[in-house]
Amino acid sequence: MLHRSMANVPFPHVAALHRYPVKGLSAEALDTVDLVPGQGFPDDRRFAIALGAYDQTEPAWAPKSAFFQLARHARLARLESRYDTASEVLTLSRSGKPVVHGKVTDPQGRGVIGEILSAFLAGEGQGRPRLVEGPAGGLPDCGEALVSIIGDASLADLARVVGRPVERLRFRANLYVAGMRPWEELGWVGREIAIGPTRLEVVDRIGRCAATNVDPATAERDMNLPRALQEAFGHADMGVYARVIAGGRIAPADAVTP
């Protein structure tokens, strides 16, 4: 078990909140999130870009290999995505300039966006890329609607060993925590934690793949972070998954209590 010295480390607190409405596309920073027991972040990984057949009439979870993903399709990082929950409109931009938008909860809107994605991703996969909507709970890699959590100190320790800054967004987590020792969150597995008014059960460490090698700003593969983790720390994990067991609203600066 990892222990924290309150004399040397500020009290753990939420540093940032993010969701990824479209699996494989860019992050959206959030001011608040309402967590519900048994669910992840609202609208997180709700949509995805299917590589081939996906039955939209009966949405079901599928592994990440069924979709375009940064691990294999670094070009995705060149797109910026913004999803408006109230209007259900997704906007895709490139270099800060909008290129397409549509209401992604209806077939026509998804089709308009799909046409642009087909042109943008030409030659990147088999079949015509299609924007699809997943089932309730979305399309997370782990197959369950969980919250992903990373300690900023762990990112800083990784940056120390690779000798350069490591952007948070490479790891595509929902929640970042400041004020802890490096790797402290890995010791939470099997325990409950409180975040503001909520409670979560930490269920597993998150093993990392080649998606983290892609710079989210440039779409270049410029590091091998799974290898760096393995060589420096004896594992390729960064962050943990947690299941919401008591809901409520959370926001940056909320206390995180193991």
pLDDT: is 115 or 34 the higher one?
34
Cβ–Cβ under 8 Å, residues 98 and 84: no
pLDDT of residue 6: 41
Looking up tokens 């077939």 gives 107
What is the DSSP pairing of strand 192-195 with strand 256-257?
antiparallel
3-class DSSP state of 230: helix
For 168-196, what is each residue's pLDDT tens digit? 999 999 999 999 999 999 999 999 999 99
Give the pLDDT band of residue 3 (cuts 50, 70, 90).
Answer: very low
pLDDT tens, position by position, 233-242? 999 999 999 9
Per-residue pLDDT tens over the stretch 130-145:
899 999 999 999 989 9
Termini Cα distance of the chain: 12
Q: What is the Cα–Cα distance from 33 to 118, expressed in whole angstroms?
A: 33
Name the residue ranges covered by the structural domains of the chain. 13-19+143-257, 44-133
Per-residue pLDDT of 92-148, as tens digits, reads 999 889 999 999 988 899 989 988 998 898 877 666 788 999 999 999 999 899 999
In this structure, which topology does domain 13-19+143-257 adopt according to CATH? M1 Pyruvate Kinase; Domain 3 (2.40.33)
